[in-house]
A = this chain, B = another copy of it.
Amino acid sequence: MRVRSRAVSGEQKVKRRNAILQTALTDFADMAYDELTMDHIAADAGLAKGTLYLYFRSKEEVFLALCERELSQWFDDLDTALQTRRAEMSVNSLVALFADSFAGRPQLLRLLAILHTGLEHNVHYAAALSFKTLLKTRTATTGALLESYLRFLVPGQGAVLLIKIYALIIGFEHLSEPSGVVREVLSQPDMELFRVNLQSALLDTLKILLMGLAYEAKYRQA
């Protein structure tokens, strides 16, 4: 019986909760969501399986919370990077900025890809609300920020753009991670079209999207 020091104070509890999330993240980097068991996470966190359930109500809530945390950090990064800029930004420099923000967060992109089919099921209202509220708030803020740097964006379009980016992440993440057999098939020379690189596909499409919005804005003015 290991009986780790008990987390009595609220602060200690937050720390332990974060430790669990950190373990989940590390484990998730090594294996697929389905392969990752609660046993595994508990063992790696040096806790008993039951203890996990004192902090999260289900496996999905663990990863939803993780997604929330990672997403929040991503928004932090993005906001910081944006606020560094003084004036209007070009499409290219904004795309580059997004590129940087994705760069060190492969796990976040993978989490988003399973968010709707996996993580948002078997979750309590409170957890879902917390997640969506964070997402809403940050999307609104960062969306507004984007609007201030990209003059062609109409109020509200910043947030909508972020939703589109979100959809692109999910879609291209799926495309870029083929199963074993499919990878074999795609290794054929004539299958080049389907060998998707997540970063470049994402950024390429984002750029086109921004140009489309810019073009549309021109039209509108005319």
Contacts and interface: CB of A to CB of B under 8 A. Distances in A.
Contact count band on A? 35 or more
A216 B211 contact: yes
A175 B208 CA distance: 21
Interface stretch (A11-19, A76-84, A190-198): A190-198
Interface in A125-165: 125, 128-129, 132, 135-136, 139-140, 159-160, 163-164
Copies of this chain, tallied across the complex = 4
Given A167-B171, A193-B163, A181 B128 contact: yes
A145 to B, nearest CB: 16
A182 B215 contact: no
Contacts of A179: 116, 120-121, 123
Interface of A: 113-117, 120-121, 123-125, 128-129, 132, 135-136, 139-140, 159-160, 163-164, 166-172, 174-175, 177-179, 181-182, 184-186, 190-191, 193-194, 196, 201, 205, 207-216
A205 B209 contact: yes
Contacts of A121: 179
Contacts of A114: 117
B185 A175 contact: no
Given A120-B178, A136-B190, A211-B211, 16 more contacts: A123-B179, A132-B191, A139-B193, A163-B175, A163-B194, A164-B205, A164-B208, A167-B205, A168-B168, A168-B171, A169-B171, A170-B171, A171-B171, A208-B209, A209-B212, A210-B212
Contacts of A128: 181-182, 184-185
Given A205-B209, A215-B212, A132 B194 contact: yes
18 contacts: A116-B178, A116-B179, A117-B117, A123-B179, A123-B181, A132-B182, A140-B193, A163-B201, A167-B174, A168-B168, A169-B171, A170-B170, A170-B174, A208-B213, A208-B216, A210-B212, A211-B216, A212-B212
